[in-house]
Amino acid sequence: MRICYLYGGVHATDGGIGFLRILCSQLRSWGHTCFTILGEAHEVLMGEAVDQEIHLNGDWSLGFGAAQRQTQNQLRSALHELKPDVVHIIHPSAYYGANGNIHALPVIWREYPVVATFWGFNMGHGATWLTRALVLWLLWGSQALASHDFKLMADMRRLCLGMRQMHFLPVGSNILPSAAVLQASRPELRQRYNLDLDKQYIGYFGGFDQSMGVVDLCQAVRRLREDGHHRLRLLLIGWQRHRQNPRFLAMQQSIEREHIEDIVIMTPYAPDEEAAGLLRAADLVALPYRHNSLGRSSLMAALRAGAPVVLASSLDDLGCLNEAVVRVPPQNPTTLAQQIDSVLKDPQRAEVLGQSGRQVWEKNFSWPVIAKNHLEVYQTILKQ
């Protein structure tokens, strides 16, 4: 099968690029041909994961200007050159934000079967009427619709008046550690990464924008400290590299406001082995997302590492994760602190949670499973 992924990513560190890189590697190992059409990047982003990588250099917004017409022609020429069996559109188109609209054109041209995966609607205050119209085009014109988030899928169903079938295509983890790290014990890993054996570590891995709920985590840690957890440490994995980011500075102020800066540990950039090792070295991993709880690769990384997870989610039903994580409501530092406290006081429960999470990951979120799910969607629309 010849599969073309259309996604406006331009940075190698973009999580969407990492997702496509591993997905395409898995599909190619099974004999399929994969292409990517990406944004204006000045380096190869997919490496050997694809058979061909094409960059559209220019304006990704729809319009009749010379630059806009040129990029649209580049897209059409690229598709004619590749001759895919299926075009898989990823929305929103990453770097291009609300202005990245030409990725919806294959739906309008109707020359190839189209799968549209929604990682969000991208229809906030900055969205134009054209962006909103193109979301509806993708929803109604694509041969198949998919998402990694149950709430988003429910919203999609409402916009489609319940007349379209939705496919669950989960995100995976870009963290691919060796078996040696996954088999190492917590004391071994703490010695390796210079962590104290007698401390209790709450791990956090991921970004620090408002949707991640790290402010809620800081408040919960302050409450735990006030309640007598004097051995507590908050382990922020990979955060040292963000120190010049304006949003990081705002996050630093939150840490100082809660007076927990003396128990916060920020590690440097963590490659796969180290990130997985630090997740396993923690007593638990707290992921206080305010929305899109199942659509985070950091959750997948924690599950794969076998770390006990306390997860904030507005969903009443987490599907296969119901018994594998401790669920708390979003934006509720009090409940978050209480559930962290209950896991810290019960090491046996924490061990069971970690093992359950790893088993759920193997069965539902490993890359062979994710790739197989994608192929089933492609095969369905090709049969139609």
76-114: pLDDT as tens digits: 999 999 999 999 999 999 888 788 899 999 999 999 999
Q: Which regions of the chain carry the CATH code 3.40.50.2000?
A: 2-169, 179-365
- Tell me the H-state helices in the chain: 15-29, 66-82, 105-109, 129-141, 150-159, 179-183, 186-192, 214-226, 246-257, 272-281, 297-305, 333-344, 347-360, 367-383
Sign of the Cα torsion 67, 68, 72, 75 reads positive
Q: What is the pLDDT of residues 264-294, one digit of tens each?
A: 999 998 889 999 999 999 999 999 999 888 8
| Beta-sheet pairing, 200-205 with 232-237 | parallel
Cα separation values, 226 from 223, 231, 242, 258, 259, Å: 5, 12, 29, 11, 11
Decide if 123 contacts 131 (C-beta within 8 A).
yes
> What average pLDDT does the structure give for the chain?
93
pLDDT for the residue 126:
72
Cα separation values, 304 from 136, 164, 243, Å: 35, 32, 28
DSSP assigned state of 254: H
Residue 201 in 3-state DSSP? strand
Beta bridge partners of 3: 34, 86
* Cα–Cα distance for residue pair 27/4, rounded to 1 Å: 12
- Name the token pair of 162: 């319940």
User: In degrees, to the nearest 5, what angle opens at C-alpha 323 toward C-alphas 294 and 168?
Assistant: 35
The H or E element that residue 240 is part of is none
Q: Identify the burial level of 63 via C-beta atoms within 10 angstroms of its C-beta, where 0-12 means exposed, 13-18 middle and 19 or more buried.
A: middle
pLDDT for the residue 250:
83
* Cα–Cα distance for residue pair 43/160, rounded to 1 Å: 38
- Crossing angle of helices 347-360 and 297-305, in 10° steps, is 120
Decide if 116 contacts 91 (C-beta within 8 A).
yes
- Crossing angle of helices 150-159 and 129-141, in 10° steps, is 90
Of 384 and 74, the one with more pLDDT? 74
User: How large a percentage of the chain has pLDDT more than 90?
Assistant: 77
pLDDT for the residue 251:
86
CA dihedral (384, 23, 97, 81) in degrees, to 10, reads -60
Of 271 and 307, the one with more pLDDT? 307
- Residue 214 contacts by C-beta under 8 Å, 6 or more apart in sequence? 204, 208, 251, 254, 288
pLDDT for the residue 63:
87
Q: How many residues does the chain have?
A: 384
Decide if 39 contacts 94 (C-beta within 8 A).
yes
User: How large a percentage of the chain has pLDDT more than 70?
Assistant: 100
Task: Calculate mean pLDDT across residues 181-194.
Answer: 95
Cα separation values, 362 from 28, 172, 305, 366, Å: 20, 11, 11, 5
Architecture of the CATH domain 179-365: 3-Layer(aba) Sandwich (3.40)
- Name the token pair of 17: 């690029």
Q: Is the pLDDT of residue 295 over 90?
A: no
Task: Calculate mean pLDDT across residues 253-274.
Answer: 93
Radius of gyration of the chain (CA): 22
Q: Is the pLDDT of residue 360 over 90?
A: yes
Residue 37 in 3-state DSSP? strand
Sign of the Cα torsion 60, 62, 66, 71 reads positive
Decide if 37 contacts 80 (C-beta within 8 A).
no
Q: What is the pLDDT of residues 315-329, one digit of tens each?
A: 888 889 999 999 999
pLDDT for the residue 95:
86
Beta bridge partners of 88: 5, 115
Q: Is the pLDDT of residue 187 over 90?
A: yes
Q: Is the pLDDT of residue 157 over 80?
A: yes
pLDDT for the residue 89:
98
Q: Superfamily assignment of 2-169 in CATH?
A: Glycogen Phosphorylase B; (3.40.50.2000)
pLDDT for the residue 249:
84
Q: Is the pLDDT of residue 35 over 90?
A: yes
Q: Is the pLDDT of residue 4 over 90?
A: yes
Decide if 238 contacts 205 (C-beta within 8 A).
yes
pLDDT for the residue 81:
96
